[in-house]
A and B are shown apart, each in its own frame.
Chain A
């Protein structure tokens, strides 16, 4: 880059400025679309700056690739249902990291064997990160799409096997730095990195996917930044660092909200081991089921209602019925809010998008920390499609696997209406204390049907 013309270098600085403004714009909904346009402006600036400095040898190939990009990219963006955005995100991590890994590979073949050890070390790191993110993201995509089961694949010694494959990849990278003429080592290194990514994510359960997606996001960014070091390209270094830190922050928020440590998620198996130990507590207690009419009477007399949605709501495709019910309540001058747990959904912020799509105004969407202080003054909470994130055991029972997890304190509300298929435990496999509290009304049935019945009963009165 130091040999690039000054115009290009200056334009790169402008592009970096646009990217920073872009993320800044996302701090609130009002400025968010402007933020996206800043992102587009930054990208265009960076591309123009590059085309000024470098003469493309094969314009034909470039054009073919760009056409493919537009033809594949636009339908993905415009057609994907909002429920499938997590999969699309995993797929785009896969694309991004593979692109970076391939450019790194090409750059190595271009320069070898006359290449200094420093460059090879950075290139190897970049390729290992890129390739492992690629297979990891592919597995995450398959798990989210339901192509392979979400259950973590657990076998004895999996940590040793995973770390060994990563260790071999790193060792081969170092070998390559010392003997850059041995080009045949590169595909072997890539293969072990690919294997590691596969093993890493296959061992992680479906419930932990929000954290995994965020971590893969971070890796994809870091590999882009590493490529920036190799090419001495600062716009790449900054964009990669921004992406890497964004994934890191989101991953930390997710793992904290799920009561997991980063290490815990990465080496997996948490969701699978707790099921057995908690089974015992479920027997011996019975839960009373209520009817839709019972609930309608309670709702009629409420002044304020908080809806707590979980991913089960999206599975039942019940977002629009919830909105209908909320509209009826509001027409009766009952205040309606939505309490959103950070992991309500399959990726960070997913539930907000699903409700926004159902035309729920975003000023009714309340994040966990803010809604929790309001529960003691709330007349009715309707929990639909959520479970573990409402379990008071997370506060009260130190022996529970959920203990310490931040939850929505719905048990503090005057009445809790809990819509559920059965008393089966949630993702964590832990029985929910909430079911047995005197102020809880359980309604068993499909979320969409129960809500539709409520709408029918309420609109009659």
Chain B
């Protein structure tokens, strides 16, 4: 048997070697393809690129890039020694090509590093295949592929250190190479200071074991001595600034959890390389040529990699470790070939699999992830660049600082570095805060990644607060929020709500009525006729299944009309079926009693109408298509109480599906609609539809003031996928033809509900904290110029809930009616768990709810809430779609002077929920 195995061993070895070589070719192609794609990309691929360009620009102008005094602008930090920056200076004359040049330097350095890895392996093993394997594995490591295409210092530093090591490995006895190798190690240190550990340690161990202690000490003295001399020289030249920038400014907060996350990534990406390295480290002692060098380099690079726990660190901390693992893999292969043929075959196969896995990780994480996202932003960044070029004065930016340096503009602030210094108490940020308060900057750009709030590492809370108070977000582009100085009031309009004592309600509850037999319903809305208060209309979205996932499940709108004060209801489908869904209904009565309903059918907003004369029967001919430009917000139809003009508030596309804005359409007759009026807040659709770096505006609603005064209110926050969110208000004095710049009304921990009556504006929102929010009502009697706020929920405890807005309506006599959900028992939903469930696409509501009604005769003092439901409502019974419970954000409510009609989703007799209403006389 052994003879037969020995007979086929050469052919198996040949096949295994060819297989490995095939994968090596593939890995090299991927490296080259990635490098070419990155080099061609015109904009910044990483936060750290622009500061280096900025430093090169300053250096070429003879400026000190390591100023000791950081109290005056520019507030910039040169984190690294100057060698790479010096290499960039020849290219700063043409700022547009600096990114290309810098990335080419990195790519060339990466390739040369691979060459030196191969030369070291060959010197130690005399095996060219092993040498090639070491080189190609290095170029295949995803961290190397990614980082070697960036304008960053790291690959040049690694190249110097590898070149130095090779000289010392190849000619250990030569004094010339001792000096040459030592100087290259110094060059590595003066490219990136952290390279003072792994390569010098490996060289020291190598020389000690090959040439004795004396030679090793000579090298150490040379490297330490020259480094120290250069350090003193730079300290002298910069007035001590070199230490502040290169050492002190790099001492960021350290998190072991970050270390753990990165090490897990390393383990997931290079498991077989780690296994091979451990085998060499354990079994190679005194057997493997170069063992002291390899193990010392592995140890040094591992220790260096541990500093990845610093805030702001990235894959560059893993480059030396990647080089070490590649060296060890090559050496292991050569070692096994010489000693154990079948083990050699196994090693070849494992190397092949590891290479394949490295390529796959590169493709998944960096080609489909980072590179794809960046390239998807190209059009937007071109537009943003053009916009920035039209702006005079200093601009603050973070991720896309490169848009400034690309156009020859110097940086005013490196937010991350200065934030870390401010947090460490090294830098006083007061002058910058004063600049923000003085609105010195015409534009501030803050980039958002999803789901990590990286911007909080880049801007201090004080900077963000000053920005929020004095600037407003006008636009998002390429995941970046553009802030402009605020035009009107600064800060939030609504103060903390007043908590007035509640009073005992004097109400008579009628019999609870299920409006419809439909069991799977969501988003019920209720309207009451001003012409006849007994006429009520409810429109709701019905699903064919409790768990509604297309295409098996259908969604349609159901209209139920009562002409006897909610005792009996007639059902109808207000719209003919489309090819897909009809949903997101809204209903309103005009002052003359005409009922208008609205829905979204196959992505098109459609309306229909009917009068009491016809029994509110909707006809096919009454259906009209209004717009197909709506994006994310359920459109809302409202009627101006005096004129009967119809107002359709929604978010509308702008610039050919580039942006969406809170928008308004108006119509006097429901037949012809006005052109779109917009609030000045443009959200990039790509930012929330494909990259999830923003949220669309939500809850867009209208309020009607005195005369031609109207206001649009909505929620939106620059920070995506979190709470609380900002409530925005845009006022108009011409009936909604145009809007003033939006102002921040308040923050909310959930959806808002707006209403108006007799010229007064009302906004119901959730203030307070995540764990104990307060339902508050903000009111304004002066068309939104000033606001008062009162608490509504009395002694009822609310929990974290961001998908159930309260219902609000105001009777003609000014009585304010409110209906809201509150947890029937403590519920463990938190902001964190909500975020996790949302990210997982599984947000089934496991809480149980009660529904409460409260009212106020003057909008300042509310009654004690009255519970309306009999048994607690199980959230799991709400219709589920796409893994999310969909109760429909708003509770319905319609008010008359005599009574209120709340409508809520209650547990039905079986599966699902029913729309239930009750007449409440007060």
- Specify whether A and B are partners: no
